[in-house]
Amino acid sequence: MVLMSPIRDAFVAARAFPTRIRYGALAIGFDVSVSRFGGTTPLVTAWLVDAAGNPMMPAYYLMASSVIGVVSVLGLRETAREPLLGSGPRVATKAEAVALALRKLKVVEAGKREREVVAQRKRA
């Protein structure tokens, strides 16, 4: 039951998706999984009981689903102490912030120079 908690879903969603698409991606994933598994589970388990003649088939179905969930959780990458996808950089001191801003400025200037070179080549 712990693996199916909404709290875990919130933590996974915060780490799995970039900020700008986080809520939409979580909603789509949740709705698709609920409609696919929540809506078909009674039908599938009733068919399994009928086909196998074993009244324990719903329990086996639940166990198999749990194994899939555990394997999925074990496959998640640990992201503790890392910034969230789509969030800005974090700095501890003002000097770090200045160094980061200067590095960003150099990248922007290099990009401008590269675009100018490409434009000159197109003209020639």
Same domain, 8 and 63: yes
What's the number of domains the chain is made of?
2
Same domain, 82 and 97: no
Question: Angle at Cα 33 formed by Cα 31 and Cα 38, nearest 5°?
Answer: 100
Please report, for residues 15, 99, 104, 124, the alpha-carbon distance to residue 112 in angstroms, rounded to integers and kept in the order given: 33, 20, 12, 19
SS3 78: coil
Residue type, 118: V
Q: 4-13, 61-70, 91-100 — which one is most confidently predicted on average? A: 61-70
- Give the pTM: 0.53
pLDDT tens per residue, range 83-122: 666 677 777 788 888 888 888 888 878 888 888 888 888 8
By the 8 A CB rule, do 35 and 28 touch? Answer: no
Same domain, 49 and 95: no
